[in-house]
Amino acid sequence: MGYDELIAQLRARYPGGRPVPLDEFTAVERLLGIVLPELLRRVYTEVADGGFYSREGELFNIMPDEGSDPIPPTWYRETLTHAPELARLGWPLYDHGCAIWSYVSLTEDGHPVRVWDPVEGTVEEGLAVLRTQRGIPLDDWFRSRFDR
């Protein structure tokens, strides 16, 4: 299944989503100094700006939303400044709750998604645990997460 079919399935599963206009999405990428993977760009600009759920959590928004906590661009910038070791994990993709997040790599082929659980120990210990995970490619992650 290609990206077009996956995007169509996500749209059908989450009707009424509010996609981010492409120019606003690009402005946030420039502000943050990152480039998100093409599939994630398409999800945010063609399906919805995060906020949709599976039974385990919620896709992280890229744009500020009324009542957002945290406000995505601000939170990510602060993370880059105050916790660069977390910023190395990539983009905070999915909030599982209880401070557990999935991050998508912005630099590795296939953009693997890995789970980050800060309860595993200190940030550096947790990063060591996370680095040992192979990760699942972003497109496979979307298929497995939202195809239930």
Tell me the per-residue pLDDT of 127-145, one tens digit each, with 9 for 90 and over.
555 555 678 899 998 888 6
Element (H, E) at 8: helix 3-13
Is CATH 3.40.50 the classification given to domain 3-146?
no
The whole-number pLDDT of residue 69 equals 52
Element (H, E) at 101: strand 100-104
The whole-number pLDDT of residue 14 equals 82
The residues spanned by each domain of the chain are 3-146
132, exposed or middle or buried, with CB in 10 Å at 0-12, 13-18, 19+? exposed
pTM above 0.85, yes or no: no
pLDDT-flagged residues of the chain (< 50): none
The whole-number pLDDT of residue 53 equals 63
CB 47 within 8 A of CB 61: no
Distances (CA, A) of 21 to 14, 42, 46, 79, 108: 17, 11, 9, 25, 26
The whole-number pLDDT of residue 36 equals 94
